[in-house]
Structure 1
Amino acid sequence: MASFVILLIVVALTSTYGKSVPSNLLKDAKSSINTRETCSTNPCSNGATCVAVHPDSFIHCICAPGFAGDFCDYPITTPSVINTQCPVNPCLNGASCSIIPGGSFKCTCAIGFTGLLCESREHSIQNACQSQPCQNSGICYLTLTDFACICPTGYSGTRCDINLAATNPCFHSPCQNSGTCLVLDPFRYRCICSNGFLGVRCEQRICNPNPCLSGGICLPHGNTFQCQCPSQYSGHYCEHLTKTASLLA
C-alpha cells in the first residue's frame, strides 16, 4: 500500500515538474508516508506530537507541557492537597503516588531519587561509591537510598572499619575440641570445655593419660573424671587395696 501511495505522489510530482522529480521532494514524501503509517492510530494523548522513530514499528510521543508518560497520558500539575492513593502507580523506584485535586497525581520519591516520576537517581547517591568509602578491601554497591559495603572476612561495620580480631578475642576460635569460647572483654576470653576435656583451651583429654591406678578405668564426667576400680581396689585413683584383698594376700 505504501509503495502504491508513493507511486501516486511521484506521478503527481512528475506531472508538475516534468520528467525530473526533485530528490528532496521525493524524500519528504516518503518520510511523510512512513510517519503517517506508523502514527496513523495516533496513540499519543493530550495534544502530543507523534514521531516515527522507526519507519515500521517504533514511535515517540513528544508531550505537551503539563503531561508525561510514554503516551503523554499522565497530567502533571503543581499539587495542593493530596487526597488518596493512585489506583495504578506510575511512579518509579519505590515512590508512592497520590491523587490531587483535578484528577492529576504526585509522586513522592524515595530518598536518593528525583524527577516527575522519580526516575532519576540523585547525583550524590549516584556517585556514593566513587570515593571508595569501604575500607580494608570492602566492595561498595549502591542501594535505593545510599551505599553499602560487602566486608571481607575478619571485618565488619558500615564501612568495613571494624577489625573483629582486635575487638573479639574469640574470633580465631581458640577453644579446641568443640569447646565454646566466651568473651569476657575485648582482650580476654574463657573456654567452656565439652565433656571429656579440660585446660585453658580445652586442649587436654581428661582420661589421656589415664590417671587411674591398679588397672582402673577412667570415665569422663563433665570437666572431671571418675575411676572405675577393680574389685580389690578403691579410692579416687584406685590407689587403695581393700581389706579383703590384703587378707587374702
Structure 2
Amino acid sequence: MVVGTGRFEVSILAYFNESGRMAGESCCSGSRDNDTCLSLCPTFLTVCLQHHSAFIPEFPACTYGHAVTPVFNRSLTDDVKPTKNMYFIKIPFQFSWPESFSLVIDAWQDPQLNQSAKDLSNRILRDVVRDKLTPPSLWVKRRTKTAQLELIYEYRVVCDEFYYSDTCEQICRHRNDNFGHYVCDETGSKVCLPGWQGEFCQEAVCTEKCNSSRGYCDKPFECRCLLGWTGGSCDKCIPNPGCVHGYCYEPWQCICQSGWGGRYCNIDQHYCTNHQPCRNGGTCINDANKNFTCACSVGYTGQRCENVVCYKSICQNGGKCQGTSENNASCVCPNGFYGQHCEYKKHYCKDTNCANAGTCVEEANGARCLCVEGFEGNYCESEIDECRSNPCKNGGTCLDGVNDFICRCRENYIGKTCGIIMDPCHGITCLNGGRCDITVSFRGECACPSGFTGKRCESSMRVCESMSCGNGGSCVANENKYSCVCLKGYYGDRCEYSSFICTPNSCQNGGICKQHKNRTSCICPSEFVGDRCESSVIQLEENFSGAFSPNSCVSFHPHSLFTLFLIFLNLLIPT
C-alpha cells in the first residue's frame, strides 16, 4: 500500500516586540521605568499543524505534527531591532495529504528559559490559519499584528523527493536500467528517455525502417533480424543453404531462375544444348533432376553412352547382359534361373519336404508349401489349434481336434460353442399332476401335488411311508412297490452303499477299493473292467468280434476316430 510522504514548511520572517510587553500593557519582566519596560521578553514560538477544525482548543491536538523554536530576545544585549528570517521549520508527514488543515502559532514568554508552553499566562500571542493547499504550493505569506506585537511568516506544503500528486501518493524515481529508462515530470508521470517507449519505457525504439514483423531491437535505434531474414531493415529473405541459381520470397525458399532446376537450382535445364554430353550416337534428354539423361544406341551403355556392351541375345529367361565389350559380356540371371546364359531353372521343391499332406509349389524366389485344412507353418508341420481363439462360451471347455474342436458345455448350456441356454425343464416329465419349476440355481425340479413325492412325483407317499431310503435317496412307488433312487455317489437297494467311502461291496470280482478326496475307485484284476470291476474282458471281446464279419473292411475317417476317442474318454473319466 502506497502512502503519501511530504512536509509542511513554515518560515518565520520577522517578530516585533520592542516594548517588551505582554499581549496587554504589562511588561514581561514586571519592571518598568515610568512607562518603559526595563527588559525585553525571552520568547519562543510553538507551531502546531492539525486537521481542519472550526474550533481550536487552548492546547490543540497537533494531529499532523508540531515544532518549537529556540528562545530569542533573552536580554537587553539582544538586538532590539525587528528579527527577520529567523527560523525555518519543517513538519514532515507520512500520509495522504488532505489539502485542508489548521495552523496554530503561539508566542510564549519564557522567564525560566525552559520552553514551557503549559502556563497560559505566559502566552504573548496566538495566530490561527485555516487554509487549503495542494502540493507543490507556492509560499503563502501572513502577517498578524497587535498594538505591541507583530509576527510575519509564510508557509507552504511540498512532497518529498520522488513523491507527486495532490496527496503526495504517486511515486516516481528517475531511472535508466533494465527496469526502465525515464525521468519524472512535475506531476510524477514517466517521460521516456530518447529511444525508449512503453508504459515503463522498457521497449527500445528500433530504426525507422526496421520491419516489425521480421526484426526487433534490444537497444534504441538498432534492427536485429529474425531467423531467415537479413538486411539493414530485415526486409530480405535468406534462401535455402546451397541454393545456386535461385531466389526467395520467404526464408529458406529456392525459386529457380530461368533455365535452372532442381532442389538447389543447380541443374542446367539446357544441358544437352550447352554441353552435348552423349557419345556414340546417343540421344540427350534434359532431365530436371540430374541435368541430362542419355538414350544410348544399340550396343552402348553408360551415363554418356561411353561403354560398349553385348548386343546379341545371349541371355535367356529374362537375363540381362552386361560388359564393356562383346568379349567380356556376361549374363545377370533373374531369381529362379542360373547358368552362363540363364538357361537352367532352379527346382526348389526337391529340397522342400511338406508335412501332413502339404503340396509344394515353386515360385520365383523359392518354394512354398500349401497346407491342407487344419495345418499351418512353413512346412505344414504344425496342427492349427482351433481352441486358440477360445470358441467355447459360457465357461465351456474346448477340446482341440484336426480342423475341428469340441466344446464340453457346463450344465444348462448346449450347442457347438455352448452358446445356447437350455431350458432347465426340457426333458423333465412330472407325474401325477406335478409341474416343473425353475429353481434359483437354474435347475428344473418337479413340484408335486399333495400325496405324491419323488424326483418326478412318481411315488405315492402312502406306499413309501414305511420305506426309508438312506443317504438322501428318494422313494419311488410303482403299483404298490417301491425302489430307492440314490443320489450320485450312493447305491444299493436302500442307497446304503457309498462310492465316496470304501466298503467291502465297493468293488466286485476281487477289485481293490481306493479312497480319494471326493470319490472312490477300483483297481481291477487284469481280466475285469468297469467302474466296479463288474465286466469280464473276455466277454467284451467276444461281443465285439461278433459284430463284424471276417471278410468285412471297416474304415474310419480321422475325424470319426477322434470322436470315438472322446466318447471313450468320457466314459472312463467320472464327471
TM-score (norm 1): 0.29
TM-score (norm 2): 0.15
Larger strand percent: 2
Taking CA–CA contacts closer than 8 Å with sequence separation of 6 or more, which of the two structures ends up with the larger relative contact order? 1
Larger helix percent: 1
Structure whose alpha-carbon radius of gyration is higher: 2
